[in-house]
Amino acid sequence: MKGQKQAVVEAVQVLLPNFNLYHDIALVMLTKSQLEDLKTGIGMFICNGDIEYSKDKTNRIEVFAYARSMVMNHLKKAKELNGNQIYGVGSATAQTKTPKAVTAINTDLLSEDLKNLVKTLV
């Protein structure tokens, strides 16, 4: 009986014979059809008892829903399959906004109240 991660990695290597572990990103390389075949195939292997699964293997609806989610999870998070990237870290999440500094304000034109307000903001 295979572990779930090992089964997904092996299935990806069958679907993508030129796939380089820890380098290529499987989710980008798989076609929609291949991705659906992968999810269905893993579900079938779980039902047959070839892949570890701790719940009732005869409940096919639950098994296939679990397999779909589990496959996507491994495609996103397993370093072998995601190009050795850390999930959730990238240019989109790493960007932070820096507050804009107040540039030269001619406070001579402001009233005393506004001058004091500007001083508290800076």
- DSSP-based three-state secondary structure for 25: strand
Per-residue pLDDT tens over the stretch 55-102: 999 999 999 999 999 999 999 999 999 998 876 655 444 444 444 555
Look up residue 119 and give its two tokens.
């001083």
pLDDT in tens, 1-59: 999 999 999 999 999 999 999 999 999 999 999 999 999 999 999 999 999 999 999 99
Question: How much is the pLDDT for 100?
Answer: 52
25 strand-pairing partners:
82
- Tokens 């004091």, residue located: 116
The pLDDT assigned to 116 comes to 78
Please state the domain extents for the chain: 4-88
Question: What torsion, rounded to 10 degrees, do the Cα atoms 16, 90, 77, 59 define?
Answer: -100
